[in-house]
Copies of this chain bind each other. A is one copy, B any other.
Amino acid sequence: MADDQRTQAAAWFRTLRNDICAAFESVEDALTGGEHGSLPAGRFERKRWQRQTAEPDNLVQDMDPAAPLVNGGEIALMRGRVFEKVGVNISTVQGRFSPEFRAQIPGAAESDGVFWASGISLVAHMRSPLVPAVHMNTRHIVTSRGWFGGGADLTPMFFDTPETAEDKADFHAAFQKACDMHDPAYYPKFKKWCDEYFYLPHRQEPRGIGGIFYDWLDDDWSRNFAFTQDVGRAFLNIYPQIVRRRMQASWTPEQREYQLVRRGRYVEFNLLYDRGTMFGLKTNGNTEAILMSMPPEAKWP
C-alpha cells in the first residue's frame, strides 16, 4: 500500500510537470509584442540525473527517459522569449539522512534516517519586468511518517501598481478556491504561513505578494494527496493566465534595471533562508537542479 502511494504521488508530479511544460511552451508561442516578440519561441530541454549515494545498491543504471525515477530527477529547463529562464524539476530520491540532519525531519529518528521523497519544483524568471516571477513546489516525503507539503508564491517586480493588485487578487483567489474545496481552515492558515516564510528579515521586506505554503500534512493520505493535486492544478490554471495578459506590453530600461535588483533579493532569500535549498544541498541533491532557481541575471548596484 505504501509502495502504491509512492508510485501514485511520483506519477502525479510527472504528469503535472508535463502539463506545465506544455502550457509554458504554448505561452511562448503566443507572444507577439513586447521587447522580444521577434525571438523564436522557447522550448524545454530535459536532462536526467541519478543520485550518487554512499550505498552502491541505490545507484540506478537505467537512464531510459520513459522509466520511472528510482533515485534521481529530471530537469526541464527553458530559456525562452517570455520565460527568460524557467526550471521545472521533478525528483524521486531515497536514502538515509545524516545523523545531524535526522533531528530536524519528522519521523527520521524512528526510521533510522531512511527516507523517500518525491516532488516537483518550479521557478520562473521572466524577461519582462511587468510579468511576475513565480515559484511552485509540492512534495511527498516519507520517513517513519509520511506527509505532503508545498505551495506557490508570486513575485511581481512592482508592488504598488493596479496590475499587481489584479494579479495578486487572482493568484490568491485561485489558491483559495483550491484550499476551500478541501478545508475552509486551509487558506487563511496557509496564506499566513506563506507570508511568514517568504520574508527577508535582513531587508525587512516580503519576497513577493504571497500565495500559500503548507507542510507536514499527514492526517489523511488520500485527502492530502488530492489537495496537493488541486494545488498543482490551480497553479497550472492561474499562472499562464497572468503571464498572457502581461507579456505583450513593452517595458523601459529603468524597469529592467529594477527587475535585476529585485532578482538580487530572490537570490538572497533562496541562499540565506530557503529550506528546500538547504534540504537539497544537505541530502546530496543535484546542485544543478537545486540552483536552477537562481535568476539568469541579477544586480546589486
In-complex Cβ contact of A267 among B201, B203, B271, B301 (8 A): B271
In the assembly, what is the distance between CA of A268 and CA of B274, in Å?
Answer: 13
Shortest A79–chain B CB gap in Å is 8
Out of B202, B264, B267, B281, which one reaches A202, CB within 8 Å? B281
- Cβ B300 vs Cβ A264 within 8 A: no
Q: A295-B300, A297-B297, A297-B299 are in contact. Are A203 and B287 (CB under 8 A)?
A: yes
Alpha-carbon separation in the docked complex, A301 to B295 (Å): 8
Query: Given A267-B267, A268-B291, A287-B202, are A296 and B299 neighbors across the interface (CB < 8 Å)?
Result: yes
Task: Say yes or no for A294: interface residue by CB 8 A criterion.
Answer: yes
> For the complex, is A22 an interface residue (Cβ under 8 Å from B)?
no
Residues of B within 8 A of A272 (CB): 271, 281
**Residues 261 to 301 of chain A near chain B (Cβ within 8 Å):** 264, 267-268, 271-272, 281, 287, 290-291, 294-301
Q: Kindly state the separation between the CA atoms of A272 and B260 in the bound complex, as whole angstroms.
A: 20
Return A109 CB to nearest CB of chain B, in Å: 22
Within the complex, which residue of B268, B281, B294, B300 is in contact with A300, where a contact is CB–CB below 8 Å? B294
Interface residues of A in 217-276 (CB under 8 A from B): 260, 264, 267-268, 271-272
- Number of contacting residues on A, CB 8 A? 23
Chain B residues contacting A299 (CB-CB under 8 Å) are 296-298
The one of B79, B287, B290, B298 in contact with A297, judged by C-beta atoms closer than 8 angstroms, is B298
| A 202-222 binary contact with B (CB < 8 Å = 1; else 0) | 110000000000000000000
Q: How far is the CA of A295 from the CA of B287 in the complex (A)?
A: 21
- Min Cβ gap A273→B in Å is 9
Query: Chain A residues in contact with chain B, CB under 8 A?
Result: 79, 85, 201-203, 260, 264, 267-268, 271-272, 281, 287, 290-291, 294-301
Given A267-B267, A267-B298, A297-B300, 10 additional A-B pairs, CB 8 A? A85-B301, A202-B281, A202-B287, A268-B271, A268-B291, A271-B271, A294-B300, A298-B298, A298-B299, A298-B300
Q: Lowest 8 CB-CB distances: which A-B pairs, in order?
A: A271-B271, A294-B300, A202-B287, A202-B281, A297-B299, A271-B272, A298-B298, A296-B301
20 chain-A/chain-B pairs, Cβ below 8 angstroms: A85-B300, A85-B301, A201-B281, A202-B281, A202-B290, A202-B291, A260-B297, A264-B294, A267-B267, A267-B271, A267-B298, A268-B271, A271-B272, A294-B300, A296-B300, A296-B301, A297-B298, A297-B299, A297-B300, A298-B300
